[in-house]
Amino acid sequence: MQGKISRIIADDISKNFFKGKAIVIYGPRQSGKTTLAKELFRQMSIEPVLLNGDDDLDVHYFDTVTASRWTQLLGGRKVIFIDEGQKIQNLGRAVKLLVDSRDDIQVVITGSSSFTLANSVEEPLTGRKFEYRLFPLSYSECAKYFGILEESKKIEIRLVYGSYPEVVTNENGMKESLKMLADSYLYRDLMQYEGIRKPAILEKLLRALALQVGSEVSFNELSGLVGASRTLVESYLKILEQAFIIFPLASYSSNLRNEIKKGVKYYFWDNGIRNAVLNDFTPIPQRNDVGALWENYTISERMKKNFYNRADGLPFFWRTTDQMEVDYLEVLGSNINAVEFKWNPKKKSRVSKAFTNRYPDAKVDTITPENFAEWVG
């Protein structure tokens, strides 16, 4: 095991250098966006101009940027790297000016908020950008780094501590790294969002979601649990999605009688963040929530895989009003793949007959630690 962890999207990004468009990389804090960009620059022997949204002087530069000032700033360099771009208000307009005036220049932007950064660059850079998302390390990235056999032995570690790069590469200090990450990411950076006016409500909401992983969520119930209006709860959920902390899984319905039509579950992009919210790093053999952890891990890994591979299938879960349920579906046209998750491979799995009777042509799989690698890798 040597060298850096290779990221799946690296080759695709490098192929789009110097094609007259900005490259925008979204992703959660500490997922490796800056490391990825700098590694690409190193491999391509590029010395970029560096600007950072955390630097007030760099941010102020964008207030009065002009084509001539861009030329002055670049000097003889051909690449400009803008890190933490979500903190720069006039970013899109300034980058548009550069992209339109200099077809020999490559702009690379990273940001940890899909909402803030997208709002900043979406309209000015329409048709002028390549977009990518970078998540915490995927199973296939870890397997390539450690080897498939070694990574398969680390599954219990991943279920508890997750797959953020700093956690994966520092196994002697996983808990400390994760706590520091959660503290800075969840309770410092996230609280700076303009829409977060009640941090205590956000903390309660995160904890409630962590305890309900794998279960259908009721917005009214969440509202009661955290002591806030349903409107506020829904707005905070959207912020958590845009910050790449959670993602929703909607219920599937073909409008047959008694199918749940508007249900939703929430999963965490990273198991470690989920456990850090609860401050619970108990080893797998002593836990009573291993089923939920296994479901969260496998679904989030599948979502990463599908996103990186640009898969067309849409993800859902399925449930009826009389509590018949399927953990996960992927639907592409009339093709339906149904999946149940079992941590214990010896435990018999049966997809509800209520489902197979309604969708007799659906493919049905059970994902366990014995066969998950191909499904998520």
**10-133 belongs to which CATH class?**
alpha beta
What is the layout of strands, in order, in the sheet containing 129-133? 49-52, 79-83, 106-111, 22-26, 129-133
Residues 6+ apart with CB under 8 A from 108: 22, 23, 25, 37, 48, 79, 80, 81, 82
- Cβ pair 55, 84 in contact under 8 A: no
Average pLDDT over residues 230-234: 92
- C-alpha distance from residue 256 to each of 100, 218, 331, 358, 361 (Å): 52, 22, 16, 9, 16
SS3 195: coil
Q: Does residue 211 or residue 185 have the better pLDDT?
A: 211
The DSSP 8-state label assigned to residue 248 in this structure reads E
pLDDT above 70 (res 258)? no
CB of 49 within 8 A of CB of 76?
A: no
Among 52, 39, 118, 120, residue whose Cα is nearest residue 81: 52
Q: What is the pLDDT of residue 80?
A: 96
Residue-level pLDDT at 310: 94
For residues 314, 319, 320 and 324, what is the CA-based torsion angle, rounded to 10 degrees? 140
What's the pTM value of the predicted model, to 2 decimals?
0.92
Strands 363-367 and 335-341: parallel
Helix, strand, or coil (residue 268)? strand
Top pLDDT among 347 and 190 is at 347
Q: What is the mean pLDDT of residues 329-357?
A: 88
Taking the CA atoms of residue 37, residue 38, residue 39 and residue 40 in that order, the dihedral angle to the nearest 10 degrees is 50
- C-alpha distances (whole Å) from 257 to each of 254, 319, 358 are 9, 11, 11
Residue 180: strand, helix, or coil: helix
Crossing angle for the helix pair 230-242 and 114-121, nearest 10 degrees?
Answer: 70
Residue where the block lists tokens 């366990």: 368
- Phi (first) and psi of residue 44, to 5 degrees: -95, 5
Is the Cβ–Cβ distance between 118 and 90 less than 8 Å?
no
Q: How confident is the model over 289-321, as pLDDT tens digits?
A: 999 999 999 999 999 999 999 999 999 999 988
Coil vs helix vs strand at 348: coil
Give residue 293's Cα distance to chain centre.
Answer: 17
The whole-number pLDDT of residue 301 equals 98
Binned at pLDDT 50, 70 and 90, residue 324 comes out as: confident
Strands 106-111 and 79-83: parallel
* Share of residues in the chain with pLDDT > 90 (%): 66
pLDDT of 117 reads: 61
What is the rounded average pLDDT of the residues 133-158? 96
Residue spans in the chain of domains classed CATH 3.40.50.300:
10-133
User: pLDDT tens-digit profile of 9-67?
Assistant: 999 999 999 999 999 999 988 999 999 999 999 999 999 999 999 899 999 888 888 88
Q: Rounded to the nearest 5 degrees, what angle is found at the Cα of 336, between the Cα atoms of 339 and 251? A: 70
Phi, psi of 119 (to 5 degrees): -60, -35
Residues 6+ apart with CB under 8 A from 153: none
Q: What was the pLDDT predicted at 119?
A: 66
- Classify residue 36 as exposed, middle or buried by CB count within 10 Å of its CB (0-12, 13-18, 19+): buried
> Mean of the per-residue pLDDT values for the chain?
90
Q: 91 or 162: which carries more pLDDT confidence?
A: 162
Gap between the Cα atoms of 354 and 75, Å rounded: 67
What does the pLDDT look like over 86-124, one tens digit per residue?
888 888 889 999 999 888 999 999 988 765 666 677 778
- Residues making up the chain, counted from first to last: 377
The CATH number of the structural domain formed by 139-376 is 1.10.10.10
**In terms of Cα–Cα distance, which of 226, 232, 184 is closest to 205?**
226
- As a whole number, mean pLDDT of residues 203-212 equals 94
Task: Give start-end residues of each CATH 1.10.10.10 domain in the chain.
Answer: 139-376
DSSP annotation of 245: S
Contact 209, 266 (CB under 8 A): yes
Give the pLDDT band (50/70/90) at residue 225.
very high
Asked whether 95 and 124 are in contact (CB, 8 A), the reply is yes
pLDDT at 1: 47
pLDDT above 80: residue 2: no
Per DSSP, 320 falls in state B
